[in-house]
Structure 1
Amino acid sequence: MVTATPFLMFEGKAEEALTFYCETVPGSRILSVERYGPGEAGPEGSVKMARAAIAGLEVMASDSYVRHAFTFTPSLSLFVNCTSEDEQSRIVEGLGNGGGMLMPLDNYGFSRRFAWLNDRFGVSWQINLP
């Protein structure tokens, strides 16, 4: 069976980001972390490949050992449906800390409470209360 999984490429912050997401979004956990060893392409100890379940969605991540001229873009985001206003407010506050708000928490007509933000790692999140 063919599968598709979101893949997040960081430059040295993969484990920090996944840990932060798992602490911030309920029902999330790190599934596995594989690190570069001595003599491998990436810096020893950095994340070669990691997997996490973020609110039930499996996400893969790695630390790129190649510097690149691009980063994340809001045109691709992780969409989270919350079950309460308190939960949503906590997630928006947590993920938004050190990041940037694209659409502050509000009623936009298509949702009674919605926020869109970039976290401090540059990953874009849409946080919804249906």
Structure 2
Amino acid sequence: MPTITPFLWFDAQAEEAAALYATVFPNSRICDVTRYGPAGPGPEGQAMTVVFELDGLRFTALNGGPHFQFSEAISFVVPCETQDEIDAYWEKLTANGGAPSQCGWLKDRFGLSWQIVPTVLPELIGDRDPDKARRATEAMLKMTKLDIAELRRAHAG
């Protein structure tokens, strides 16, 4: 079976974005950069494509111009075991122009959407006890960055 690789279209920030992501996530690196030559269509020397890995998952980023923008229709989920992990990813991905949203969603400074989610969340909001699940869900819906301790308190009642 072929390997499926996310392909991200940037205006002109593919190399900058890949460099940021490679510093945010462990076991990540830039693998290859292909640059535009004199034939273009981008400025000669600018990165055309950037192949990078985030914790072993390969991505390709393209500097394709302003024709397409990211939307929340596509996002990347980052499962976190601890609040410290949530806080660290949240801080790094919202830095320098990123924006928080609600329910653990954010946009980084390039407009790419991320979900920073505690691994315990499905257990809390999917509890077989409907009251516990409702309380946890209601708490989550009021949050921007998710707070594990608060979600657990709401779940417990």
Does TM, normalized by the shorter one, top 0.5?
A: yes
Q: Supply the RMSD in Å over aligned alpha carbons.
A: 1.6
Aligned length: 118
Residues 1:74 and 2:75 aligned together? no
User: SS in structure 1 opposite 2:12?
Assistant: coil
Which 4+ residue blocks in structure 1 deviate beyond 3 angstroms? none
TM alignment of 1:44-123, pairs within 5 A: 44-65=44-65, 67-68=66-67, 70-97=68-95, 98-103=97-102, 115-123=104-112
Q: Which deviates the most, 20-29 or 5-14?
A: 20-29
**Which string of whole-angstrom CA distances, capped at 9 and with x for unpartnered residues, describes residues 49-97 of structure 1?**
11111122211101014x41x3001111111123432222111111012
Question: Could you tell me the percent identity over the aligned residues?
Answer: 42
Equivalent in the alignment of 2:13: 13
- RCO higher in structure (CA 8 A, sep ≥6): 1
More strand by share: 1
Deviation at 1:39, TM superposition (A): 2.7
Q: CA separation in 2, counterparts of 1:45 and 1:81? A: 37
The one-letter amino acid of 1:14's match is: A
Instruction: Give the letter for the 2:41 counterpart.
Output: A
Deviations 1:13-45 (A, max 9, x none): 000011111111222211111111223322111
Instruction: Report the counterpart of residue 111 of structure 1 in structure 2.
Output: none
| Greater CA drift, 32-41 or 6-15 | 32-41
Q: TM-score, normalised by structure 2?
A: 0.69
Secondary structure of 1:103's counterpart equals coil
3-state SS, counterpart of residue 18 of structure 2: helix
- Helix, strand or coil for the counterpart of 1:16? helix
Q: Which residue of 1 aligns with 2:113?
A: 124
Distance in 2, Cα, partners of 1:56 & 1:11: 25
